[in-house]
């Protein structure tokens, strides 16, 4: 069943837990993620990357969410273009990340506010990002930490933007961490205090230790984004399975099942770790 992002996050935070959001480049990944969520009895978010966003995929993910036995939200991730956001809303996403983090704070807030004015008429929830999270969402390159969010900017930004969730930079990166990850928990605490009732979002969760993930809900992080960890596991399983699949008469069904079973297992572990 489909559900609103802000409602899902509020319910998870009430239990001092966070909800994971998994990037889905196709229906197969979405089915694996939803299967894991149904097994765990927990809600989940299906993310659409801007690089993959097109009407058929959005409608397919929406259909998968509608048929799920647990609450599922479909969100357009890291969208910097108003036209792309408009298209995604027209075709059925439940939430968008209006990403103006590359802009000065005032321009970022204006972009989020513009998106929010349209999104509100369609019941779509708007997430924003303040302070950059380095790296590429679609690639697994090792990245240096940079662009941490300034807590002093939080209140004026939220007041000007009207964002319903806020992604921040506290030592997290997209892709792979160069060296051991070290989240800036004191900075996150200051951001949490300045954000008031607005839930926080942590991008770049792949590679973080389970102890960090378990801590998220207790410190006001209600949503955690996962991409690299899921993608890497699927690609490694695919790579290992191609030879046996060819040897057994090009058994695509067995190969596909192995990849999706791996994805389901990764998603289940993340769900249970964040589950509180």
Q: Which two tokens stand for residue 103?
A: 């802009």
Task: Convert the pLDDT of each residue in 72-129 to its tens digit.
Answer: 999 999 999 999 999 999 999 999 999 999 999 999 999 999 999 999 999 999 999 9
Taking alpha carbons only, the member of 171, 174, 156, 166 closest to residue 105 is 156
Annotation marks residue 6 as catalytic: no
Domain extent listing, the chain: 5-274
Place of tokens 């191609």: 242
Q: Which two tokens stand for residue 45?
A: 């978010």
Task: Convert the pLDDT of each residue in 125-165 to its tens digit.
Answer: 999 999 876 544 545 554 445 578 999 999 999 999 999 99
Of the listed 6, 15, 66, 77, which one is catalytic? Answer: 77
Residue 70 vs residues 38, 83, 152, 228: alpha-carbon distances, Å: 6, 31, 38, 24
- To the question of pTM greater than 0.85 for the whole model, the response is yes
Please check whether the domain covering 5-274 is classified as CATH 3.30.413.10.
no
**What is the chain's alpha carbon radius of gyration, rounded to the nearest angstrom?**
18
Rounded-to-integer distance, Cα 269 and Cα 142, Å: 23
Taking alpha carbons only, the member of 76, 120, 117 closest to residue 95 is 76
Instruction: Spell out the residues 6+ positions from residue 48 whose beta carbon is closer than 8 angstroms to its own.
Output: 23, 24, 57, 58, 61, 74, 75, 76, 77, 88, 93
């Amino acid at each position: 069943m489909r559900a609103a992002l802000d409602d899902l996050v509020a319910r998870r935070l009430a239990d001092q837990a966070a909800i994971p959001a998994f990037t889905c480049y196709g229906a197969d990944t979405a089915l694996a993620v939803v299967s894991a969520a149904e097994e765990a009895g927990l809600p989940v978010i299906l993310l659409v990357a801007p690089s993959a966003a097109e009407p058929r995929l959005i409608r397919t993910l929406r259909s998968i969410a509608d048929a799920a036995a647990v609450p599922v939200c479909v969100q357009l991730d890291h969208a910097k273009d108003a036209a792309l956001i408009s298209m995604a809303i027209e075709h059925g996403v439940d939430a968008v990340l209006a990403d103006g983090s590359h802009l000065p704070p005032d321009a970022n807030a204006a972009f989020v506010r513009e998106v929010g004015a349209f999104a509100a008429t369609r019941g779509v929830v708007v997430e924003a990002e303040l302070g950059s999270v380095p790296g590429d969402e679609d690639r697994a390159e090792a990245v240096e930490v940079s662009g941490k969010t300034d807590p002093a900017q939080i209140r004026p930004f939220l007041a000007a933007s009207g964002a319903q969730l806020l992604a921040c930079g506290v030592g997290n990166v997209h892709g792979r961490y160069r060296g051991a990850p070290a989240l800036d928990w004191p900075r996150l605490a200051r951001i949490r205090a300045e954000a008031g009732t607005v839930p926080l979002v942590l991008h770049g969760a792949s590679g973080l230790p389970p102890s960090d993930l378990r801590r998220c809900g207790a410190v006001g992080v209600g949503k955690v984004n996962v991409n690299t960890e899921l993608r890497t596991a699927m690609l490694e399983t695919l790579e290992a399975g191609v030879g046996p699949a060819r040897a057994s008469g090009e058994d695509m069904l067995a190969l596909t099942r192995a990849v999706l079973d791996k994805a389901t297992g990764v998603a289940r572990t993340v769900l249970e770790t964040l589950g509180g």
